[in-house]
Structure 1
Amino acid sequence: MLTNTNTKIEIQPFSENVGRKIINTENASILEINKEEVINLFKSYGFLLFRGFETDVNTFAEFSNSLSNGFMDYTGGAINRRIINEDGTILTVNDFKDEMKLHGEMYYIKKPPQIVWFFCANPPLKDGETTICDGEQFFHELSNSMKDLLRRKKLKFPGRLKKEDWQNKYKTNDLNVVKEICESQGREVQINEDESIDFKFICSAIHKSRTEQKDVFINSLLQAKKVNPKSVCFDDDSEITDEIMSELNEIAEKITIEINWQKGDILMIDNTRIMHGRRAFYDDQRDIYVRLCFPAFPF
């Protein structure tokens, strides 16, 4: 049992090896539960869903503050996010309703966040489940030939932004500032005569988890190929074929866990091990917030 000063809280598994639900059964305050026990569960199981607590956006901020630091403001991020709080660290998840394939958050920059927090301000009427996948299990499911390929070749994510697009994304009119931000994120940048920019980012598809230093398949490949299938390639410019993507997408569906949101839910994800995504939805009710950060504890 996970305890606070006065009450007991039920813990339920998502699966044997990954994910735990922390269920409030006796009107406990999420701000009073034992942080060391939360940290130990998080390190062991990769993601935690806190459910049944009385929460709002301020509680979400206070609780995530108690376990995290180094909050990011999403400068240069891939999609549009509406800012919720004054310091720009609580954001809406996005501005569209399509499916999002499994991905590691911001694995198109050199130093992605290590923790991703979600808060359900309002669930969808139906669909719109957040999808979760254990990158350690994903790596284990890869064929030996795929493991060999992904160890030999890195992924290359190229892109181009027109002037008005980078001005909006990076919130500046200064190309030197944009170049400095991109280079600090590990992106190579070329400035064109029309003041558009070309950039590319190269990284491995396989990383080491922070907690156990095991091989993890975690990256942005599946979502990037969905959005712009012809642009993403290997670092030697060879094609990432349909056959490769078919194996990866089949594994993803085989081991995906779905989060069916309830109002007030808080989700804590280890972004060095766990990929996440989202099923498509069709109503305007879904309102999920996100915070990107680093742990305030040894990780």
Structure 2
Amino acid sequence: MDDVKESCLFPERDRVALYEATAPGVSPVEWAMANVERLNARLVTAGAVLLRGFDVPDASVFSGFVKVFGEELAEYTYRSTPRSKVGDVYTSTEYPASEVIPLHNENSYTSRWPQRLWFYSAVAAQSGGETPLADSHAVYQRIPADVRERFERHGVRYVRNYRAGMGISWEETFPGMDRAAVERFCGERGIVVEWQPGNGLRTTETCQAVATHPVTGKQVWLNQAHLFHVSSLNEATRLALLELMAEEELPRSAYFGDGSRIDDADLAAVRGAYEAETLAFPWQAGDLLMVDNMAMAHGRNSFVGPRKVLVAMTGSHGSRQTG
């Protein structure tokens, strides 16, 4: 008899399939091995799959669960936020507990991104700390047509400046690479590299704003303009930084692909679409979450108390073939 019951966390939208162990000691690795096709199929229709109540004592079991699905765990290269490696997986973004990470699709600020994300709630926060999700196709549909058209026509240009003491350094962004390796990596992806005085670096890359899901064929909103654009900063921080440096010198900036400015109002509409489509549930210790990275955006809410969520990334998809 299968000691696991199936339901759906958000049945009105058929988002986030839930599989709950009804008996203690059920191995997520063994159960997944017997149900790979079932889970893969449900991930396509529900966008995310949550396993709850299984026996997940540590990161090695989490890693073993991910490997059941036959995909190599990806290295987090060309990163935009600080993380630490734990075995062959990573911590979630190491931002202060008070900060909110807006909804986004992982690595959608570049031309290649993981197909799947995997989360393991090792320690659930006392309150808050949810990993909210949003249907990327529903977000696309909710954004006003004229805003969508501008983004689709031009794409998004990301300008990143890496310097000591502000944001993350190029050494953190490209772990284990020297300057020559960084130039090779960027050259293969069409990223423009400009070395700056004082061991600084600027990269510029123009990417997709929208993509087509390879399985469902749906159009999905797939960029991080709303995170990189200067309007993402609170007003005090924005004014203080712009007194010190030109906008193009900020750690992160976003423009339309032709270099023209993105209007704050356009990004307010994008943020409004994400807010309207947000789905959130409280983590429980031991939860395992599979996410289709193109179908569903994710973020992080602020929290109180200790919180430890580990992350893995697998598969690769993109808007430009590399090297």
TM-score of the aligned structures, taking structure 2 as reference length: 0.82
Q: Is the partner of 1:191 in helix, strand or coil?
A: strand
Residue 277 of structure 1: aligned partner: 299
Once the two structures are TM-superposed, the CA of residue 110 in structure 1 deviates from its matched residue by: 2.2
Give 2:3's aligned residue. Answer: 7
Looking at structure 1, the residues matched to 299 and 122 of structure 2 have their Cα atoms a distance apart, in angstroms, of 18
- Report how far residue 162 of structure 1 moved: 2.8
1:175 to 167, 173, 179: 179
Deviation sequence 1:71-104 (CA, Å, 0-9, x none): 212122111111110xxx3110122131111111
Residue correspondence of structure 1 range 1-299 to structure 2 within 5 A? 6-15=2-11, 16-27=13-24, 28-33=26-31, 34-55=35-56, 56-85=58-87, 89-96=88-95, 97=97, 98-162=99-163, 165-172=169-176, 174-225=178-229, 226=232, 231-283=253-305, 285-294=306-315
Q: Distance in 1 between matches of 2:294 and 2:72?
A: 16
Contact 1:132-1:259 at 8 Å conserved across structures: no
Q: Deviations over 1:35-67 (max 9, x none)?
A: 111111011111111111111312111110011
- The 2-side partners of 1:267 and 1:115 are apart by 10
Aligned-partner Cα distance in 2 for 1:264–1:186: 40
Q: CA deviation at 1:168?
A: 3.6
Q: Which stretches in structure 1 are left out of the alignment for 5+ residues?
A: none
Moved more, 119-128 or 147-156: 147-156
Q: Partners of 2:4 and 2:198 in 1: how far apart?
A: 62
**Change over 3 Å in CA distance of 1:38–1:52 after alignment to 2:** same
**More displaced stretch, 155-164 vs 93-102:** 155-164
The 8 Å contact of residues 68 and 293 in structure 1, kept in 2 or not, is answered as no
CA distance in 2, matches of 1:46, 1:252: 16
Whole-Å separation in 2 of the counterparts to 1:293 and 1:73: 9
1:13–1:54 Cα change, 3 Å? same
Task: Show CA shifts across 1:167-208 (max 9, x none).
Answer: 343234731111112233442212235442210121121111
Q: Distance in 1 between matches of 2:47 and 2:191?
A: 28
The structural deviation recorded for 1:146 is: 1.9
Q: How far does residue 126 in structure 1 lie from its aligned partner after superposition?
A: 0.7
- d(CA) in 2 for partners of 1:189, 1:11: 48
Distance (whole Å) between structure 2 residues aligned to residue 187 and residue 280 of structure 1: 33
SS in 2 for 1:139: helix
> Which runs of no fewer than 5 residues in structure 2 stay unpaired?
239-246, 248-252, 317-323
Q: Which letter maps to 1:20?
A: A
